[in-house]
Chain A
Amino acid sequence: MTADRTDTPVVLSRLVKNYGRTEVLRGIDLELGTGVIGLLGPNGAGKTTLLKLLATALAPTSGSLRVLGRHPADPVERLEIRRRLGYVPQEVGLYDNFTVYEFVDYIAILKEHVDRVARRAEVRRVLAAVDLDDLRSKKIRKLSGGMRRRVVLAQSLLGDPQLLVLDEPTVGLDPEQRLRFRQIVSQHADRRCVVLSTHMTEDVEALCERVVVMDHGSVVFDGTPGSLAAIAAGKVWLASAPDPDALMSWRTGDGRHRNVGTAPDRADLAEPTVQDGYLVLNGGVIVESAA
């Protein structure tokens, strides 16, 4: 294994992806190392397309892509990438007639876990990790949306992958499960690469050591969550009334209004969050979770 295979799991250079005449990714240059990397951006920014490229579900139109030191365009190297990959797509259909155990076991077979005893132990491990061990005999059609999402997360953890690609994995999870998800991902990210696309800026703040913001197929920010929040420094105010000139304004739980933008009258400066920084960066384009 060469040095770049361990040091820089993902290297993108001038990466372009078109769907017909629509340019979805416009010459992206990125190097993603170990740890949790958050991917933020409005709908249509190209996040899901980028993740599909990393997961070898799509091929780029042009540019260079190296995943775990290998070229996905080469069938042999693509197979090697897939052997080291865990993927949670944004939307995935599960097999309703399968039990939770049967489905994860089936995916384990497709991940080349051929030894029955070892596979059983691995399936039980990932089901326990997402707190589904007690429900392993339950048919998937009887699961709630959050439980189904945990099944998808469980299959992605099979084989302890070197690269974990997660497209909005926390949608539908209750607060306790989201905290558990953070625990799983942070544990997994030790010496591995986790790329997490989400609209939940709190997850980015809590989990990621690096955040990449995309808009219109380009990277518009690449830095730490702290530096993203710092973009909004001096622009977040708490006031008794909403400011009509603010990029965004909403009433908080204590009855005061949080205004992102210029200072309204009789306002107190507030500590900015990743969400504030993101709002300022996108000039007021709303993040779903902020609504």
Chain B
Amino acid sequence: MSPVFVLGRNEGERLLRNPAIWLSFVVTLLWVRSARRVGQAEDQLFLMVGYGLMLPGFVMVTAVLLATLRSRLQHSDELLGTLAVGPDRRSLGHVASTFVCGAIGLVATGAIYVALAPSPSLGAWEASDSQVVIVPRPNIAQLLQGPMALLAVAAFVIAIVRWMPTWLVLLPLGFLVMVQGLFGGVFHGTPTSGQRWIFPLNTGVVHGPWRGCGELDIECDLPVSGFDTMTPWWHLGYLAALIAWFTAAAVLRHRRDRRAWLMFAGTLLIVVLCVAAQFVAADQFVVNS
């Protein structure tokens, strides 16, 4: 058995014993309870495509961050630097431990799905003052988006901690949450559809274009023109590629041999290809007649 796997299991078990992670699901629980009411189609969609995991995910990722920073914060780098499993394999172990986070996310998404018991249509959503749309039930790719995004963000945090082993890592992490919340969440219509798929979470809602936003218009409106159910499949591949790329970046901090560079370059190429595929596949908004 590989030391990386054993280390991953050890760190993963530590995550499972962390009460903060389980406590953070209270908010998700309350959201699910509220979303079960009739007419909450938007909330139901958000919960199932991964937004229900945002707070627990943030707690889990913070726990992973602290575990990765542990040797630096507790001044044990000198001792750990003389052990057979070096920082490169420790990074892999931390990434392996995040699969526990992914598993928790998967179970939580399954529980949300069962609790909401969605029919093929989640119901009507008042998307704007003048538009009501029917929200379709998310497909498997959309349901898997939350756990996969959690893994990708955790791998991102491990990589960034390896290159910036201080509390300053909270800045890019906070920025990521902010960007996701602003552009991927409430105001998910702001960038064009293709760009939105760069963020870890995507509702699949296709917006646009803005209408009635001239100086003389009474109301400014961003209508929904559809739901993208194909791009989420590409998005899963994109998130998987991100996990591999961030992992390679973390390893590269301490091991710069040919294999590490090849891994980094290869996974980066796959990420770029997945981004391109998402741009091509993403449903663009259509002008409502």
B288 CB-CB contact with A under 8 Å? no
Contacts of A59-88 to chain B: CB distance below 8 A = 75, 79, 82-83, 85, 87
- B88 CB to closest chain A CB, in angstroms? 10
B119 CB-CB contact with A under 8 Å? no
Chain A positions within 8 Å of B84 at CB level: 79, 82-83, 110-112
Given the interface contacts A109-B3, A112-B3, does A57 sit within 8 Å of B74 by beta carbon?
Answer: no
Do B76 and A114 touch (CB < 8 A)? Answer: no
Query: Contact check: which of A79, A83, A87, A115 meets B1 at CB < 8 Å?
Result: A115
Query: Contact check: which of A93, A110, A115, A152 meets B83 at CB < 8 Å?
Result: A110
Do A92 and B75 touch (CB < 8 A)? Answer: yes
Do B79 and A92 touch (CB < 8 A)? Answer: yes
B7 CB-CB contact with A under 8 Å? yes
Q: How far is the CA of A189 from the CA of B7 in the complex (A)?
A: 30
Given the interface contacts A82-B84, A110-B90, A115-B1, does A95 sit within 8 Å of B78 by beta carbon?
Answer: no
Chain A positions within 8 Å of B78 at CB level: 52, 57, 89, 92
Do B82 and A85 touch (CB < 8 A)? Answer: yes
Chain A positions within 8 Å of B6 at CB level: 109, 114, 116
A24 CB-CB contact with B under 8 Å? no
Chain B positions within 8 Å of A110 at CB level: 3, 7, 80, 83-85, 90
Q: How far is the CA of A105 from the CA of B5 in the complex (A)?
A: 15
Do B1 and A114 touch (CB < 8 A)? Answer: yes
Query: Contact check: which of A87, A91, A112, A155 meets B75 at CB < 8 Å?
Result: A91
Given the interface contacts A112-B3, A114-B6, does A93 sit within 8 Å of B82 by beta carbon?
Answer: no
B172 CB-CB contact with A under 8 Å? no
Q: How far is the CA of A89 from the CA of B71 in the complex (A)?
A: 14
B2: nearest residue on chain A (CB-CB)? A114
If over half of B's interface residues share one DSSP class (helix, strand or loop), that class is named, otherwise mixed; here it is loop
A96 CB-CB contact with B under 8 Å? yes
- A87 CB to closest chain B CB, in angstroms? 5
Given the interface contacts A92-B79, A114-B3, A114-B6, does A109 sit within 8 Å of B85 by beta carbon?
Answer: yes
Chain B positions within 8 Å of A109 at CB level: 3, 6-7, 10, 85
Q: How far is the CA of A92 from the CA of B77 in the complex (A)?
A: 8
B211 CB-CB contact with A under 8 Å? no
Do A92 and B90 touch (CB < 8 A)? Answer: no
A247 CB-CB contact with B under 8 Å? no
Chain A positions within 8 Å of B3 at CB level: 109-110, 112, 114
Tell me which of B83, B85, B86 has the highest count of chain A C-beta atoms within 10 A of its own C-beta: B83
Do A87 and B74 touch (CB < 8 A)? Answer: no
Do B79 and A87 touch (CB < 8 A)? Answer: yes
Q: How far is the CA of A55 from the CA of B84 in the complex (A)?
A: 11
Do B82 and A55 touch (CB < 8 A)? Answer: yes
- A: residues with CB less than 8 A from B are 52, 55-57, 75, 79, 82-83, 85, 87, 89, 91-96, 105-107, 109-112, 114-116, 152, 155
Given A83-B84, A87-B82, A106-B10, 6 more pairs with CB closer than 8 A: A93-B76, A94-B74, A94-B76, A107-B83, A110-B7, A112-B84
Q: List 6 A-B pairs, minimum CB-CB distance, nearest first.
A: A93-B75, A93-B74, A110-B83, A110-B85, A114-B1, A55-B82
- B: residues with CB less than 8 A from A are 1-3, 5-7, 10, 70, 74-76, 78-86, 90, 257
A sample of 19 inter-chain contacts (CB < 8 A) reads: A55-B82, A57-B82, A75-B257, A79-B84, A82-B83, A83-B84, A85-B82, A87-B79, A92-B75, A92-B76, A94-B76, A95-B74, A96-B74, A110-B3, A110-B90, A111-B83, A111-B84, A114-B1, A116-B6
